[in-house]
Amino acid sequence: SLSAYGPARTTIQGTPLALDELRKTDAYWQASLYLCLGMLYLRSNPLLREPLRLKHIKPRLLGHWGSDAGQCFTYIHFNRLINKYDLNAIYISGPGHGAPAVLSQAYLEGTYSEIYPDIREDLVGMQRFFKQFSFPGGIGSHATPETPGSIHEGGELGYSVSHAFGTVYDNPDLIALVMVGDGEAETGPLATSWHGNKFLNPITDGAVLPVLHLNGYKINNPTILARISHAELEALFVGYGYTPYFVEGSDPESMHQAMAATMEHCVLEIRKFQEKARQTGAAYRPRWPMIILRSPKGWTAPRKVDGHYLEGFWRAHQIPLPDVAANPAHLTLLESWMRSYQPEKHFDAQGRLIPELQALAPKGRRRMSANPVANGGLLRRPLDMPDFRTFSVEIEKAGGTQAGNVPTLGNFLREVMRLNMQNFRVFGPDETQSNKLTALYEVTQKVWLGEYFPEDADGGELALQGRVMEMLSEHTIEGWLEGYLLSGRHGFINSYEPFVHIIDSMFNQHAKWLEKCNALPWRADVASLNLLMTGLVWRQDHNGFTHQDPGFLDVVANKSPSVVRIYLPPDANCLLSVADHCLKSVNYVNVIVADKQKNLQYLDMEAAVAHCTRGAGIWSWASNDQGVEPDVVMVSCGDVPTLESLAATTLLRQHVPDIKVRFVNVVDLFKLVPHTEHAHGMTDREFAALFTSSKPVIFNFHSYPWLIHRLTYRRPGQHHIHVRGYKEKGNISTPLELAILNQTDRFSLAIDAIDRIPRLCDMGSGVRETLLDQQFACKNHAYEFGVDRQDIQDWKWPF
Amino acid sequence: SLSAYGPARTTIQGTPLALDELRKTDAYWQASLYLCLGMLYLRSNPLLREPLRLKHIKPRLLGHWGSDAGQCFTYIHFNRLINKYDLNAIYISGPGHGAPAVLSQAYLEGTYSEIYPDIREDLVGMQRFFKQFSFPGGIGSHATPETPGSIHEGGELGYSVSHAFGTVYDNPDLIALVMVGDGEAETGPLATSWHGNKFLNPITDGAVLPVLHLNGYKINNPTILARISHAELEALFVGYGYTPYFVEGSDPESMHQAMAATMEHCVLEIRKFQEKARQTGAAYRPRWPMIILRSPKGWTAPRKVDGHYLEGFWRAHQIPLPDVAANPAHLTLLESWMRSYQPEKHFDAQGRLIPELQALAPKGRRRMSANPVANGGLLRRPLDMPDFRTFSVEIEKAGGTQAGNVPTLGNFLREVMRLNMQNFRVFGPDETQSNKLTALYEVTQKVWLGEYFPEDADGGELALQGRVMEMLSEHTIEGWLEGYLLSGRHGFINSYEPFVHIIDSMFNQHAKWLEKCNALPWRADVASLNLLMTGLVWRQDHNGFTHQDPGFLDVVANKSPSVVRIYLPPDANCLLSVADHCLKSVNYVNVIVADKQKNLQYLDMEAAVAHCTRGAGIWSWASNDQGVEPDVVMVSCGDVPTLESLAATTLLRQHVPDIKVRFVNVVDLFKLVPHTEHAHGMTDREFAALFTSSKPVIFNFHSYPWLIHRLTYRRPGQHHIHVRGYKEKGNISTPLELAILNQTDRFSLAIDAIDRIPRLCDMGSGVRETLLDQQFACKNHAYEFGVDRQDIQDWKWPF
Ligand SMILES: Cc1ncc(C[n+]2csc(CCOP(=O)(O)OP(=O)(O)O)c2C)c(N)n1
Ligand SMILES: Cc1ncc(C[n+]2csc(CCOP(=O)(O)OP(=O)(O)O)c2C)c(N)n1
Ligand SMILES: [Mg+2]
Ligand SMILES: [Mg+2]
């Protein structure tokens, strides 16, 4: 039957709970559910010591009930096993709107009062605890950073399982108990994240125990997984590589026994698999256990109200009785419902949980609400960093030699990896090799717990224990990385630039999480999320229009300045300097934009460090305005744009005698905004010192040009800044032709300068024509041969 | 065995191909593969009538081989069944980088030459066909819009199955044959899209026949699905609700028989399921067939080159022999490999496919490359539109009454639905009811082919045949809608604003697709993609920070102006006018931002139509600068911001005697950009006429404020524009408190005006204080009661 009702139906039989334990477990659950309803409804009269009156009710009812009972149930049953087997466990709430469930547990375990002393374990504390929930000036209605024990807010659904896997990689001792909403399970990111088990090594990693919360409903709809046959559902999870154990029903007593027996079975199975692998030293992929908990949505609420289904239906999703203010009968119903949990039995006169129930909770750091893994900064050890200067590219003459920017970074990452083989991983969606970070494979491989074929030995770079994690799911690898970082480790993710948009919303959510953590003194610093975008728009000429989208930076720039950093190093040495800085930083998302192809190199290591430290600066070797006013300021931001800007500078100096050009390069994008708006921002004076306040500025930008306008709109002289960038003109082309299409090529930039230098107004027209002819010739060459002219490909800085 | 090698291993036995048919089928396949290699390598000597020389080879080798053989194989075998059963079918290439496969088919079927007459079916045409592939000035290396028969570019992986389902809904006759990359299958969007079968009605919809292309590899990695046990793989697809049929091996002869037998079995099964449902009239969810094709990556390439695996390994992914220019032995190898396909036998002296092979292809519109479904505009019938004025909200006095904006839209959509029950659908991620579009359920329900429970009758709104499509996957519903539109129908999608970011990249790809189609005369106009964002940032005060992200507009504004439109109607009548316009439009993505709560209403229907037609205008009823210069221009863009701007205007007029305020509202965001950059843009003169060129402008914007700066940075007077918007300050709060946090509330706006009106510099300080006090009082009220003050909630336009 697909019904969530009736006595427990279960894969694992057994009644492990003695009668007294059963009674206490149920009481603990009731106390929890009482707290959940309290949070949703009450602003005073917390233990209903007076009859319930309207004045005790919050004026605005907010929050979610439907997920709470099942989540509390699961959490509580795991507590028993934590105690029994001394488990190291955290709890991840997929449907984080079921926050009352986790909040109630943190409160009952005492963690809440430890962190927030004003929320005491007494009547006053409970009243504050209730009132603050989903209340202005209080806390949110999801498992927000304010929630002890949470690393996963669950506001945007879909990432619970990938987060869970992220926490257990390299945490052999840990079990991440993760509750997955059956609605959440319909999201794409969640649906593929089950495959995390193919990347989990039973010797060196911990275990994820997923509980699919099959409460049957979402906001207004049944869930798919609750409405397919038992056979299909079971097959699905067998297909995902798990052994699903069913616990189905609504009768509390038998459900308690069933859940206790099933969870214990799962824990023992996990231990058995781990022991087998650890004793033999042979890693393998067992069929890990998972639980399918089918119980009514809003479990323990009235089944029907005024003839309409509540419990076991989607109406139980949010506030179960929304109109208690207008409907006295509903107020009465609420009161008797709340009283049915017998708060007076579970809490003492002071309003504190009675000792015999307190005894059920784990102690100290074993409490899932107090496990340091869920405040991962506490466990974070700084990376052991090699000296990045060791990997520098030799520069004989600026702009005279080529090297691969990202490959050079790869050498550095290889050494970072070598020195941190316990707490550093690199993540990519099947692109780490294509992105030329292959040096990593000299010290580690890609983790792979799938089957092996003979040909894998021929360059497969797969290993049962590997520290590069690749799956073709930007969502999953991002989720893994977030989980890995939030549990106190370090990491680095690489992706083609266009497809980073796939995780726009995950980035948003992570940035919001970090931003809120900054305001919580008890949250310890976590390592920054370091994201390398490569496979850049300007070198996607061969893949075409779908692969050309540098707009992720616009998404990033919308987040709080306190948590985001954007770097566009112009060459390999700058990239090294930037990467070193990022890997040492905490609490940010660092976005690094760098090309993986061969590029001209400009700055030796010392110059690179100085330039990156400034974040933006004049390149005097590329300027000839020393001691005089420049005619024009050529600015580049991004490695490929820098090449074209330099080439344009050359054209200007070759074609316009005695032109004075200043060359500026910007590495750190937020230098451009006023210092009042971002910690990296320049003052107006600093800004004018670089860009002048009246000379034409020809700014060649890596991304969409208007981002520069948005960052500089307050600057004096802003109207002199003429920005070029990707204008959404693309096709299959050559690098130069793609630049020409978007007018970011050397010829267009030089023409832009000529058009804007007043004294060249009339004089410049001959040069202008020449440049246009050259541009045209380059385009024709591309069309005929499919490649850029050799002189373009071989171009070097000539001065 | 998990090996892709050996004679065919197959679920369905049979040898349906007579010897001669087998020979011809194989010849057709060889001809196809020859063309694929030709596209990758040749710029001349198309049929190798001369010995292969370096000069015949493209200077830059681009494109993908690994997917081609399997895709051609599948396509060709389906041709046989199209002919045999007169099927109406399209082909969707999940890994669209296998474009040579589909291009070769379009060329062999003659479609290519029909559309592009210069690419003739002769030697010259073939040479051009080869050269243009992935070549500047030519076509891309994916199944781009230029590809006949393609509705799915497959550049960004993950959407093939949802696109396929989108095409067959309401297309009872159609089979969408969709090839899914085993790498693609790892993406989140793809992993959940298999569930499209729970929304497919066998009576009124067509069928999707997925072929999982288990070629075992991605770019540099094995795929998960190719490295799990047979039992797990089978279970997975049974779990997804399919009957998987395996075809595994590498031996062409037995594989041809196996694929022919299996595909025929699938087609007959589809027909049987459909007939059963159609004859009985009882819709149900059969276990639809799907095929798992396990064959070597790069099938038919040399197995090893220089001792390294090529065929059957990831090295076959892109150009199989990348160094033919530098390595003469490889050039020789390429030549003999190409000749092994015996082009001289398959193409005649002119270079045209020989008649006996031509005869294998379907004819006319039955060719998958020429099926009008894949150029859906050909089939598009305009919607039968009700008069939107019928649904207008009565306005006695501007700003005097409240109504729900989105609910009013719901009434209109209901009638659109009623009049277009064959070719219009509404899509939402479990939010259509929460978003208050419930009026739709008066004429249709949500389609649901899962199990039914008794409680569904109590407000479930589920039906076997429904036209509202809800699954908790923003990716899937967006993919369905895109498929539905591109196959010639109409639709409307609604989502919470923050979570639209989940489909940023899908939007990007769809916009790019439309943009390219605009340049192809043979591509007929398709209906616009209409996206309603509601659950807006300003009314997510209760859900908190994770639900506050209005940044999707920034993503939209980066796309080509020719395909994107953004509307922020200030009230219900404007929303109706905008929606009517959008539903009638073609080739755009229309983004509509509208609140679902009760809002003040301002414009009667005629005024609304006029205002929306202008796109931005002065509201004279809210202005008192008639005939004189205004002191300040108050501007609003967005429904919630409009309320606060109006309230601020009132405060100014109440507190500052004889102040002259002009009130401007912007509906159509692109009005703000210069007319040279967007078809909707105003001239500078028009712009100055609204905003003045020297008066302070206090612009209250729905989204992040800097977007306005980016759109107006070229405008004269831009420095007088002071923009307020969401500044990434959020928490659990009340609507007013959230506005206060971001300084978009009435008090902040009024203060902004006072601070910027020169003559109030000193005079205004008393008023300023008063306003700050009031703001403070409002905040305190929110903190104490959890709701905004009643006078704030009841605020009306007083003049
Ligand atoms: C990605 C995403 N889309 C939409 C929503 C809006 N939403 C909030 S709760 C919910 C239903 C969740 O259902 P389920 O996962 O089953 O949770 P539960 O039943 O435990 O409450 C939806 C659609 C969301 N939070 N995230
Ligand atoms: C979402 C996304 N991420 C990454 C890529 C880069 N990429 C292009 S092809 C490919 C491998 C595809 O493998 P598969 O789907 O198995 O295709 P096939 O083997 O048929 O070539 C990847 C990762 C992409 N195109 N889309
Ligand atoms: Mg649910
Ligand atoms: Mg593959």
Which of A40, A62, A184 to mutate for ligand 1's pocket (most ligand atoms within 8 Å of CB)? A184
| Predicted local distance difference test score (pLDDT) of residue A150 | 98
| Predicted local distance difference test score (pLDDT) of residue A631 | 97
Distance in Å, alpha carbon of A88 to nearest chain B alpha carbon = 29
Contacts of A155 in chain B (CB under 8 A): 543-547
Q: Shortest CA distance to A146 belongs to which of A479, A488, A523?
A: A523
| Cα distance between residue B672 and residue B691, in whole Å | 10
| Predicted local distance difference test score (pLDDT) of residue A761 | 77
Ligand 1 mean position, distance from CA A509 (Å): 15
Q: Counting atoms of ligand 2 from 1, which one is nearest the CA of B317?
A: 21
Query: How would residue A541 be classed by pLDDT, with cut points 50, 70 and 90?
Result: confident
Contacts of A446 in chain B (CB under 8 A): 221
Nearest to B236 among A220, A239, A549 (CB): A239
Q: Shortest CA distance to B8 belongs to which of B354, B366, B289, B292?
A: B292
* Locus of tokens 């010739």: A777
Q: What is the DSSP letter of B728?
A: S
Nearest to B188 among A135, A189, A728 (CB): A189
| Predicted local distance difference test score (pLDDT) of residue A764 | 84
List of residues 6+ apart from B478 with CB closer than 8 A: B162, B427, B493, B503, B506, B507
pLDDT digits (tens, 9 = 90+) for A391-413: 999 999 999 999 999 999 999 99
| Cα distance between residue B519 and residue B377, in whole Å | 14
| A453 in reach of chain B (CB within 8 A) | yes
pLDDT digits (tens, 9 = 90+) for A675-708: 999 999 999 999 999 999 899 999 999 999 999 9
Distance in Å, alpha carbon of B44 to nearest chain A alpha carbon = 12
Contacts of A472 in chain B (CB under 8 A): 157, 183-184, 186-187, 218, 221, 223
Which residues in chain B land under pLDDT 50?
Answer: none
Type and span of the H or E element at A268: helix A252-280
List of residues 6+ apart from A185 with CB closer than 8 A: A191, A212, A223, A225
| Predicted local distance difference test score (pLDDT) of residue A599 | 96
Ligand 3 mean position, distance from CA A216 (Å): 5
> Which ligand is closest in space to the CA of residue A95?
1
| Cα distance between residue A194 and residue A474, in whole Å | 14
Q: How many CB atoms lie within 10 A of CB B1?
A: 10
CB contact under 8 A, B239 and A233: yes
CA dihedral B253, B258, B259, B265 (to 10 degrees): 150
| Cα distance between residue A639 and residue B464, in whole Å | 56
A315 lines ligand 1 (CB under 6 A): no
* Segment 711-770 of chain B within 8 Å of chain A by CB: 713, 718, 728, 731-734, 737
State the average pLDDT for chain A: 97
Three-state SS across B759-783? HHCCCCHHHHHHHHHHHHHHHHHHH
A377 lines ligand 1 (CB under 6 A): no
| Predicted local distance difference test score (pLDDT) of residue A471 | 98
Q: Are B38 and B48 in contact (CB under 8 A)?
A: no
A430 lines ligand 2 (CB under 6 A): yes
Q: Counting atoms of ligand 1 from 1, which one is nearest the CA of B547?
A: 25
Q: Counting atoms of ligand 2 from 1, which one is nearest the CA of B186?
A: 15
The 3-state DSSP class for residue B177 equals strand
Q: Are B141 and B454 in contact (CB under 8 A)?
A: no
| Predicted local distance difference test score (pLDDT) of residue B330 | 98
| Cα distance between residue A395 and residue B102, in whole Å | 48
pLDDT digits (tens, 9 = 90+) for B392-412: 999 999 999 999 999 999 999
Nearest to A430 among B140, B220, B471 (CB): B220
Nearest to A228 among B153, B186, B450 (CB): B450
What count of CB pairs under 8 Å joins A to B? 384
pLDDT digits (tens, 9 = 90+) for B583-630: 999 999 999 999 999 999 999 999 999 999 999 999 999 999 998 999
Judged on CB neighbours under 10 Å (0-12, 13-18, 19+), A379 is: middle
| Predicted local distance difference test score (pLDDT) of residue B657 | 86
Query: How would residue A716 be classed by pLDDT, with cut points 50, 70 and 90?
Result: confident
| Predicted local distance difference test score (pLDDT) of residue A657 | 86
Q: How many CB atoms lie within 10 A of CB B428?
A: 27
| Predicted local distance difference test score (pLDDT) of residue A763 | 81
List of residues 6+ apart from A58 with CB closer than 8 A: A41, A42, A43, A131, A135, B786
Nearest alpha carbon, ligand 2 atom 21: B67
| Cα distance between residue B531 and residue B491, in whole Å | 9
B313 lines ligand 2 (CB under 6 A): no
CA dihedral B184, B190, B194, B200 (to 10 degrees): -120
